[in-house]
Structure 1
């Protein structure tokens, strides 16, 4: 029996969605997802693509209006065009970045962390539209088929706080297909019989795309069943136009998913979680005048259900919907001997509704109740300035945010204000080396769910805490870049964050505080608290070697640690969601019309873990592909994932599932003339 209450996207609604504007950028090198306008062409890293030999290059941004050197300095990009391996989730792509790791539970909506920051501490965007889903696991954007994307931009570093709340750990931006792309791709694989078909069709000023994919349940190396099944249909339309000296751009994305499984350790004997429906509509419209000013409007409507079966006990249905609205205005100015920008942003959430119903195993409804009926408004103004003196570069930025959050069910509301600042100092030692340092302060407002939710989740009974204070952070980062000739490139980054009022979810046992919920009393539940002070520190490095145009290798590494320093829990307690130490080796080799890729990743054992986590052993993962161009338009790809049949768990989360066992797949791609 399926449960669903929320409205579906009707055909008329879908047509309106696809015709509504959104920002689609003609230049695919622009960081389209940046709500503050970061330019992807600035000096970030590009992670090894599977379709072409990478040319190592460090360049400066020329788009002074839409880019900030404060936030683009530590940006890296993952190229998705013509990739040989079909990966179902956005997280599967992101783990190629040294400091990104999986966290939480699995399935299509797998979540991730950056430098140990996870969940609402990472701002996830699609073409600049922020994705806020109120899922405690994090704001996954896997409702979009990766075949509709051109690349993923990952913004790390303390200065990401220029984006405001939810960017303390960084920004993940999904950039949709380039204008003019004409391509058909089809893939299929073993184990879960996952299939994916996508058609992209466009011209110089517009782009469209439609993609369909599905998968069955899969198995781990030891034949443990994994709840990874899903069906999903998504579509894209975007355009750009010139009119009376202005640049107009728009885009719209719709997605409809059904029967999405959530894999966990408890499946299938204790708990079975499914998302019967997962609907999204995103759109954006922008207008720009050269390098003078830029204005954009955006929206994201979503509704989805969570169906949780507690085996031999009961069934709970949670129904969710919300509407995110926003506007951004930017203006560039020259003065004080440098280049600057002023900006204003409005981010609103309307109709944030979470309802819960409980049913007996016979289908009898035990109760039905609203959990959250809320809204949120976030107003912000910001500025950043940049100066260049010979080999020195200086950047300064500041942002002021005011937020108001309301829970109508209990007539609760709260107002808060925060100021964040950023600074960057870089020195070009010579033509081969660059040294830079940045410092920033940041914050994160608690989410509506962390404040006011009181009901059942796939994790169990969860109660919000309306007394939570905003998180505060101070971060510093030092980086060194060195290019040795044309063959070698070295990048090393060290970072340290000091966190105040860090929000932690924990389990209370045998507590019956009736004041914490309007509807009923719980004996064991999960809730949230502020830690006094905590810290996260680490180092990440990459070495790229390209001896000639047909061979490229990259070695990546990351190590970090984080702990509670003062507060109500024991000092020295490890923070949750930290990334395990990681070493990765990637190769790309072209030979006689064939292309071979290889990626071997080692994850160190996790013996010191945080709240809600458990000790994990070492893990070794291997994936690879063989590709052959059958013609100038048609390519054939064979790929394999988890080729060593690693049977470990995907993360230290106590409910994390095991890795899917070895998978072999085939993919065909055809480029239209």
Structure 2
């Protein structure tokens, strides 16, 4: 409680960005406003050139889903890694530090080997998720080779509350929000015990989390608005769900995770300024029964500042801006207790700083049925732990789109991406959940060239698009085994990832809508080996029937067999998973909902990672939603 009193009291010091967007009704009961992201660098007016996906969140449809679960329902995206609350995702076959995750324009950094996690952000606080792929990701700098996942916060404008219960894991969630034109406050509490697999095995998935969202906005001068945002989060007793025998052999858990994220922004008609800070800490505990116990405490403070501007002149438009990010006191301290010797060893695994700066710009023009867009970004980085490391990269993109037959559009693009090694990859030496890890100070940046063609159709309620792409990646940084339970990082190879993704949606009959999507991915390195993190191919269909008083949603996902695997992976069998949900409006302000996930109660491995968790058993859930 003291934690949140301190956080709320600090609102006047810790701030945010954004400017008012369109009013968006969520499920007809939550009065919220979408906050446009000042940190967004690609132009919304030319977004049809890029391969972007949008997910508009509805709390009645996903009261306890993680972000990884939510975005895995789109083409080209699926779950990756081991499982549990820190489950991550793969975008077009790239995951971890190759996909940049942002909240309202702030890059979320992490020292976890799996990459950044959105575990501390409750979906209740988010209005929309945008998945930026291909050329559109060029603006975002290091770590956007696979794409960018951008989350847009909600601004609540009325009183609302939601509660839900799920049988497997005894999951309780309680969320409430209140707001008006100038202020928004929301709070969430979730508690989960260990879930079970369809065969009755326990999953190490327990956790408890409390978080809040505070936002305010006001006029500073004529034509200039100010916005502030604060998001504190506290979680504890977090289990790591994977294939380890966590009862008898090895138990990995996270006793505590804390985050404080704040922003302040100024916006005008042609420019925006954003200042932000993100302070985080994570405690990891790894118990190898009858052998030893390792505890690692990591923490960091990230400062962000960016300014961007846009222009329109005689059919030409564009934007330009400056990014700066300073990561201060990124540390990891470890304590190891050996049972047999009753000895304690302490060490400093990481103590580093990082500074990044970037300049970017783009120009767009529409000529009759053609649209042209081109842009560039220059990025500089300096990393420090005892000795300094610095580097720079210049990247760019070009796109062209041609509209024909009124409803059709064909576009093509070529774009560059890059990724500097993270502080952990370069400097970390110590224990992780997978064993001992040694950093490599000699890593060079990954670089990529992405080629893409996209065909789109839009008429009335019917929408279709299909994209073909190939991403050539050089100097791929990979974790390699150099001894028993000892790993390090190396630039091991050049590789390509190519694939196809498609989406088709529209009205099927009266109140019935449908969405059909899927992807095909393949990869190979210069030696003919397959890459890690390539998602299994999939197709997925969702049917949504809605009347004035009730709504029914049925989704069916078929994951094809994956037998082309890399080191550290396992073969995936084909599987079909069915989820369903029913929502009923008791009154204009009150709703109830019932859902069944994994309807056929099938047991399967979530991802190709050889430490992946198994699926949870058939999940039965019940929720209530109320709004003034």
Q: 1:462 and 2:431 equivalent?
A: no
Whole-Å Cα distance in 1 between the matches of residues 341 and 125 of structure 2? Answer: 40
**Residue in structure 2 matched with residue 284 of structure 1 by the alignment:** 263
**Residue in structure 1 matched with residue 147 of structure 2 by the alignment:** 170
**Residue in structure 1 matched with residue 521 of structure 2 by the alignment:** 560
**Residue in structure 2 matched with residue 36 of structure 1 by the alignment:** 40
Q: 1:264 and 2:242 equivalent?
A: yes
Whole-Å Cα distance in 2 between the matches of residues 71 and 104 of structure 1? Answer: 31
Whole-Å Cα distance in 1 between the matches of residues 170 and 575 of structure 2? Answer: 25
1:492 touches 1:539 (CA, 8 Å); kept in 2? Answer: yes
Whole-Å Cα distance in 2 between the matches of residues 647 and 504 of structure 1? Answer: 30
Q: CA deviation at 1:359?
A: 1.3
Q: CA deviation at 1:247?
A: 1.3
Aligned CA distance change for structure 1 residues 383 and 196 (closer, same or farther; 3 Å): same
Whole-Å Cα distance in 1 between the matches of residues 303 and 22 of structure 2? Answer: 25
Q: Which runs of 5+ in 2 are unaligned?
A: 24-33
**Residue in structure 2 matched with residue 230 of structure 1 by the alignment:** 207
Whole-Å Cα distance in 2 between the matches of residues 72 and 315 of structure 1? Answer: 52
Q: Which runs of 5+ in 1 are unaligned?
A: 1-7, 43-60, 62-68, 510-522, 566-570
**Residue in structure 1 matched with residue 30 of structure 2 by the alignment:** none
Whole-Å Cα distance in 1 between the matches of residues 341 and 19 of structure 2? Answer: 50
**Residue in structure 2 matched with residue 65 of structure 1 by the alignment:** none
1:33 touches 1:125 (CA, 8 Å); kept in 2? Answer: no
**Residue in structure 2 matched with residue 499 of structure 1 by the alignment:** 473
**Residue in structure 2 matched with residue 22 of structure 1 by the alignment:** 16
Counterpart pick for 1:80 among 39, 57, 81: 57
Counterpart pick for 2:184 among 207, 221, 229: 207
Whole-Å Cα distance in 1 between the matches of residues 188 and 13 of structure 2? Answer: 18
Q: Partner of 1:646: helix, strand, or coil? A: coil
2:437 touches 2:487 (CA, 8 Å); kept in 1? Answer: yes
Whole-Å Cα distance in 2 between the matches of residues 228 and 480 of structure 1? Answer: 41
Q: CA deviation at 1:70?
A: 6.4
Aligned CA distance change for structure 1 residues 121 and 426 (closer, same or farther; 3 Å): same
Q: Partner of 2:529: helix, strand, or coil? A: coil
Whole-Å Cα distance in 2 between the matches of residues 232 and 666 of structure 1? Answer: 20
Whole-Å Cα distance in 2 between the matches of residues 557 and 200 of structure 1? Answer: 36
Aligned CA distance change for structure 1 residues 88 and 273 (closer, same or farther; 3 Å): farther
Counterpart pick for 2:355 among 366, 377, 386: 377
**TM-score using structure 1 length:** 0.88
Q: 1:183 and 2:160 equivalent?
A: yes
**Residue in structure 2 matched with residue 568 of structure 1 by the alignment:** none
Aligned CA distance change for structure 1 residues 18 and 210 (closer, same or farther; 3 Å): farther
1:31 touches 1:153 (CA, 8 Å); kept in 2? Answer: no
- What are the within-5 Å matches in structure 2 for residues 244-259 of structure 1? 244-245=221-222, 246-259=224-237
2:217 touches 2:227 (CA, 8 Å); kept in 1? Answer: yes
Whole-Å Cα distance in 1 between the matches of residues 279 and 624 of structure 2? Answer: 33
1:26 touches 1:179 (CA, 8 Å); kept in 2? Answer: no
Whole-Å Cα distance in 1 between the matches of residues 153 and 343 of structure 2? Answer: 43
2:518 touches 2:540 (CA, 8 Å); kept in 1? Answer: yes
Q: CA deviation at 1:219?
A: 0.9
Q: CA deviation at 1:431?
A: 2.2
Whole-Å Cα distance in 1 between the matches of residues 461 and 169 of structure 2? Answer: 40
State which drifts further: 81-90 or 184-193.
Answer: 81-90
- What are the within-5 Å matches in structure 2 for residues 381-420 of structure 1? 381-407=359-385, 411-420=386-395
Deviation sequence 1:265-296 (CA, Å, 0-9, x none): 013233211111100011111112212x2111
Q: Partner of 2:139: helix, strand, or coil? A: helix
Counterpart pick for 2:512 among 546, 551, 557: 551
Whole-Å Cα distance in 2 between the matches of residues 454 and 28 of structure 1? Answer: 48
Q: CA deviation at 1:9?
A: 4.4
**Residue in structure 2 matched with residue 667 of structure 1 by the alignment:** 623
Whole-Å Cα distance in 1 between the matches of residues 428 and 401 of structure 2? Answer: 44
- What are the within-5 Å matches in structure 2 for residues 411-430 of structure 1? 411-430=386-405
**Residue in structure 2 matched with residue 452 of structure 1 by the alignment:** 427
Q: Partner of 2:245: helix, strand, or coil? A: coil
Deviation sequence 1:506-562 (CA, Å, 0-9, x none): 2123xxxxxxxxxxxxx5411111123100000001111303451101111100011
Q: CA deviation at 1:461?
A: 0.9
Deviation sequence 1:161-205 (CA, Å, 0-9, x none): 210001111111222223414310000010101111111111112
Q: CA deviation at 1:591?
A: 4.9
- What are the within-5 Å matches in structure 2 for residues 37-116 of structure 1? 37-38=41-42, 42=44, 61=45, 69=46, 73-116=50-93
Q: CA deviation at 1:74?
A: 2.1
Whole-Å Cα distance in 2 between the matches of residues 28 and 173 of structure 1? Answer: 17
Q: Partner of 2:65: helix, strand, or coil? A: coil
1:394 touches 1:425 (CA, 8 Å); kept in 2? Answer: yes
**Residue in structure 1 matched with residue 415 of structure 2 by the alignment:** 440
Q: CA deviation at 1:15?
A: 2.1
Q: 1:154 and 2:131 equivalent?
A: yes
Q: CA deviation at 1:615?
A: 1.2
Whole-Å Cα distance in 1 between the matches of residues 134 and 55 of structure 2? Answer: 17
Whole-Å Cα distance in 2 between the matches of residues 34 and 119 of structure 1? Answer: 25
Aligned CA distance change for structure 1 residues 364 and 157 (closer, same or farther; 3 Å): same
**Residue in structure 1 matched with residue 27 of structure 2 by the alignment:** none
Q: CA deviation at 1:248?
A: 0.9
Q: 1:644 and 2:600 equivalent?
A: yes
1:251 touches 1:283 (CA, 8 Å); kept in 2? Answer: yes
Aligned CA distance change for structure 1 residues 654 and 313 (closer, same or farther; 3 Å): same
Q: Partner of 1:218: helix, strand, or coil? A: coil
Counterpart pick for 1:581 among 509, 534, 537: 537
**Residue in structure 2 matched with residue 66 of structure 1 by the alignment:** none
**Residue in structure 2 matched with residue 12 of structure 1 by the alignment:** 6
Whole-Å Cα distance in 1 between the matches of residues 167 and 156 of structure 2? Answer: 33
Whole-Å Cα distance in 2 between the matches of residues 656 and 371 of structure 1? Answer: 26
Q: CA deviation at 1:620?
A: 1.6
Whole-Å Cα distance in 2 between the matches of residues 129 and 669 of structure 1? Answer: 30
Whole-Å Cα distance in 1 between the matches of residues 547 and 36 of structure 2? Answer: 35
State which drifts further: 26-35 or 137-146.
Answer: 26-35
Aligned CA distance change for structure 1 residues 24 and 72 (closer, same or farther; 3 Å): farther
Aligned CA distance change for structure 1 residues 497 and 240 (closer, same or farther; 3 Å): same
2:135 touches 2:398 (CA, 8 Å); kept in 1? Answer: no
- What root-mean-square deviation, in Å, do the aligned CA atoms of Structure 1 and Structure 2 show? 1.9
Residues matched between the structures, number? 615
Whole-Å Cα distance in 1 between the matches of residues 152 and 75 of structure 2? Answer: 20
Whole-Å Cα distance in 2 between the matches of residues 250 and 507 of structure 1? Answer: 46
Q: Partner of 1:178: helix, strand, or coil? A: strand
Q: Partner of 1:354: helix, strand, or coil? A: strand
Counterpart pick for 1:300 among 278, 285, 298: 278
1:487 touches 1:547 (CA, 8 Å); kept in 2? Answer: no
